[in-house]
Amino acid sequence: MSIFKSNTLRYDISAGFVVFLVALPLCLGIALASGAPFFSGMIAGIVGGVVVGIISNSHVSVSGPAAGLTTVVLAGIATLGSFEAFLTAMVVAGLIQIGMGLMKIGSMAEYFPSSVISGMLTAIGIIIILKQIPHGLGYDHDVAFLTEDGMGGMSEMQHALSHINPAAALICLLSLALLATWEHPLVKKTLGAIPGGLIVVLMGIGMSEWLLPTFTQWSVSPEHKVNVPVPASAQEFFKLFSMPDFSYLYNPSLYVIAFTIAIVASIETLLCIEAADRLDTQRRVTYTNRELIAQGSGNLISGLIGGLPITSVIVRTSANVQAQAKTKLSTIIHGILLCVTVIAIPGILNRIPLSCLAAILLVVGYKLSHPKIFKSMYKKGYRQFLPFIATVIAIVCTDLLKGVGVGLVISLFLVLRENLKNSYFTNNDKFNEGDKITLMLAQEVSFLNKAAIRRALDQLPRNSTVTIDARHTSYIDSDAIEIIQEFRDIKAPQRNISCILLGFKERYGAQISGLSREESKLPTGSVRVA
C-alpha cells in the first residue's frame, strides 16, 4: 500500500507535525528520567519515527522512547557502569526482538496476566513521580533510586527539599497547573489541537529567559536546563553519536539487561499495537510478528548510534489518531521533524528548564499510577488485586525484573490454588452411605488436578457406589490415572465402595487393568471434576 496518496497526504503531514510537538518534550523528558544524555532521547525519537515507521505495517502507531523503560535504563546504566555498555545491551535486545519476530511469537503478550502488566505500569508511574520531584524543585543531580534498601529515592527527595531552587520550583508548579488546565473539557474543546506539553515548554523558556530575571532576583542556572550539544559543523554533529562498547559482551549482566529490555519493550509494544488497532477508524490489523521485527530493528539501530530503547507509545499514537492520520507517513514525518530540530535549533532546546520537563513527566507518572487504577483493580477481586499490588510494591522496592517475577509467581500460585479449590463440584452438599455418585472428569485432566481428585475420592462415604466418567475427557495425565487406579483397587475395597470406570477402556486400557466392570448407565447423583 502506497503512503503517498493525494487524498491522505495533507492529513498525514498535519498529524506528523502534531505528533512532533507532542514527542519533542517527551523525548527530552524521558532522557532526563532515564539518567541518559538528552541527545539519546532525540535519537530514539528519530529512529522510532523513521526506521520503525518504515518497517512496521501499523498505519497509526508511533514509536519512540517510552516512560515504561526508564527504570530499565537507569538500572542498566548503573549495573554496567557506563552508557556505552548499556548501548551494547540495547543492540543485543534488538537482535532478540528480531529473533522473536522471526520465530512468530508476537502473541507472547497474551500469556502475561493483565494484573501484572497493570502493576508494572503503575509502579513505573510511581517511580517516575518520585524521581522527578527533585528535578521539579531544581535539584538536578543523579537520583540513585534503585538502592539495595529500595529507599534511595526517599533520601534523595529529603536532600532535595533542602536545596530548592525557587525559580525552578515556580516553573514546575505553574507547568503542572497549566497541564491540569489543559485537561479541562472546555480547554480541550477549544485548544485541544495544541499539545499541552509544547505550551509548557514555551512557558518555561519564557519564564526562565525573560520573566523571572526581569521581575525577580530568581534565575534558572544552565545546569537546571536541557543540555543538548550544539555542533558547529557537520563533522562535529556526527561526533555527538555514542557508540556501544562491545567489550562488555563478555559480561553476563549485559544479557540479563538485554533480555529485560527485549521482553518489556515487546510487551509494551504489543499492548500498544492492540490499542492502536482499536483506535484506527479503518480497523486495520497490524501483524504483530512484523512489528517485533520493526521494533527490534529500531532498537538495534538506536543502540548502535547512541539512542534510548524504543517501543510503540500510546500517548503519541493516540495523538496521531486524533490528528486524523491516515497512513504511517505521519510517524515518518514526525521523526524527520525531530531530526531537523536537533540539527537546526539545538540552542533553543538548551533554553528549556528541566523543571518544566519534570512537570510533564509528573503528569505522565500520575496517569500511569492514577488512584482509579488501584480502585479498579481492587473491585476485580483479590485474584487480580494481589498480583497487581505485589508487582507494584516489588518493583518500587527492588527493580522491574524482580517485581514482575514476584507478580508472576503470585499469579501462578493463585491459579494453582483456584485449580485445587474449584477442581470439582457437587450438586449436593453432602453424600451419605449407600448413595450412588457420579464423578465426571473434565475435558482435560492434568497433574494440577491430582490433589483435587484425591480429595474428592477420599471424601466419598462408605458403602457407596461411585462412577468415574471419562467419556467426555480427551486427556488424562498419568499421575491422575495412578490415583484413580489406586482408589479403585485399594482404597475403595477397604471402605466397601463400588467403583465403576466409564470411558477409560478405549484410551487408557493399557494403563488401567480390569475395565470389564464398566457400565453404560450412570447412577444418580453427581460430582464433577473441572
Are residues 299 and 309 in contact, defined by beta-carbon separation less than 8 angstroms? yes
Strand intervals (E) in 41-115: 63-65
Q: For 190-210, give the DSSP string.
A: HHTTS-HHHHHHHHHHHIIII
Grid cell of 24 as nine digits = 519533542
pLDDT at position 298 is: 96
pLDDT per residue rounded down to tens, the chain (530 residues): 556 666 778 888 888 888 888 888 889 889 988 889 989 999 999 999 999 999 998 999 999 998 778 888 998 999 999 999 999 999 999 999 999 999 988 776 667 787 887 888 788 788 888 888 888 888 766 555 444 444 445 555 566 666 788 888 889 999 999 988 888 888 877 876 677 878 888 898 888 888 777 767 677 877 788 878 787 777 878 888 889 999 999 999 999 999 999 988 998 888 788 778 877 888 888 888 999 999 999 999 999 999 999 999 877 887 788 777 889 999 999 999 999 988 888 888 888 888 888 888 888 888 888 899 999 999 988 888 999 999 999 988 877 778 888 988 998 888 777 666 554 555 555 677 878 888 888 777 777 778 778 888 888 888 888 888 888 788 888 888 888 888 988 999 999 999 888 888 666 665 666 665 444 444 444 444 44
CA end-to-end span of the chain = 49
Interhelix angle for 114-136 vs 6-34, to 10°? 70
Report the distance separating Cα 349 and Cα 334, nearest Å. Answer: 17
pTM score of the predicted model:
0.70
Can you tell me the distance from the alpha carbon of 89 to that of 80, in angstroms, rounded to the nearest whole number? 9
Alpha carbons 504 and 123: distance in angstroms, whole number: 50
| Number of other CB atoms surrounding residue 444 within 10 Å | 12
Q: Which residues contact 48 (CB under 8 A, 6 or more apart)?
A: 62, 63, 64, 65, 298, 302, 310, 313, 331, 335
The hierarchical CATH code for the domain 424-529 is 3.30.750
- Alpha-carbon gap, residue 418 to 38, rounded angstroms: 48
Q: Closest Cα partner for 132 from 227, 42, 39, 28?
A: 28
304: left (phi over 0), alpha (psi -120 to 50) or beta: alpha
Q: State how far the Cα of 262 lies from the Cα of 252, in Å rounded to an integer.
A: 16
**Number of neighbours of residue 510 by Cβ within 10 angstroms:** 6
434: left (phi over 0), alpha (psi -120 to 50) or beta: left
Q: Give the phi and the psi of residue 413 in degrees, each rounded to 5.
A: -60, -45
Pairing of strands 63-65, 310-312: antiparallel
User: Helices H, strands E: what count in the chain?
Assistant: 24, 9
The 3-class secondary structure across 244-261, one letter per residue, is CCHHHHHCHHHHHHHHHH
Do 277 and 238 touch, CB atoms closer than 8 A? no
389 contact partners, CB below 8 Å, separation of at least 6: 119, 374, 377
